[in-house]
Amino acid sequence: MNRYVTISIDDGHPTDVKTAELLEKYGLAATFYIPSKNAERPVMRSFDIREIARRFEVGGHTLNHTPLRFLRPERAWDEIRDGKSWLEHEVGRPVVSFCYPRGKFNGRLAAMVQQAGFLGARTCLLNVTSFPKNPFYWGASTHAGNHSVYIQIRHALLEGNLAGVRNYFRTYDCATEWDTHFMHALDDVEVHGGIAHLYMHSWEIDESQHWAKLERVFESISARTSLTKITNGALFSLWEGHHGCRNN
CB 185 within 8 A of CB 142: yes
- pLDDT per position as a tens digit, 122-143: 999 999 999 999 999 999 999 9
Name the domain count of the chain. 1
Give, in order, the Cα–Cα distances in Å from 13 to each of 30, 216, 237: 15, 22, 27
Residue 162 counted as domain residue: no
How far is residue 18's CA from residue 235's CA, in Å, rounded to a whole number?
24
Each residue of 26-53: b (16+ CB within 10 Å) or e?
eebbbbbbbbbebeeeebbeeebbeebb
Q: Is residue 126 a part of any domain in this protein?
A: yes
pLDDT above 70 covers what percent of the chain?
97
Q: Report in angstroms the alpha-carbon separations of 9 from 33, 68, 178, 217.
A: 6, 19, 15, 15
Which CATH number is 191's domain given?
3.20.20.370
232: in domain: yes
Residue 103 pLDDT class (50, 70, 90 cuts): confident
- Start-to-end CA distance of the chain, whole Å, equals 23
Residue 91 lies in a domain: yes
Query: For 198-207, how does the pLDDT look when each residue is reduced to its tens digit (9 = 90+)?
Result: 999 999 999 9
Residue 241: predicted pLDDT = 73
The pTM assigned to this predicted structure is 0.95
| Domain housing 206 | 3-145+175-247
Q: Residue 163 domain-assigned?
A: no
Q: Identify whether the C-beta of residue 141 lies closer than 8 Å to the C-beta of residue 129.
A: yes
* Distance of alpha carbon 130 from alpha carbon 57, whole angstroms: 21
What DSSP designation does 103 have?
G
Q: Measure the CA–CA gap between 186 and 181, rounded to whole angstroms.
A: 9
* DSSP states of 105-150: --HHHHHHHHHTT-SEEE----S--SPPSSGGGB--SEESS---HH
> Is 150 within the bounds of a domain?
no
Q: What is the pLDDT of residues 38-65, one digit of tens each?
A: 999 999 999 999 999 999 999 999 999 9
Does 44 fall in a domain? Answer: yes
> Is residue 198, in this structure, part of any structural domain at all?
yes
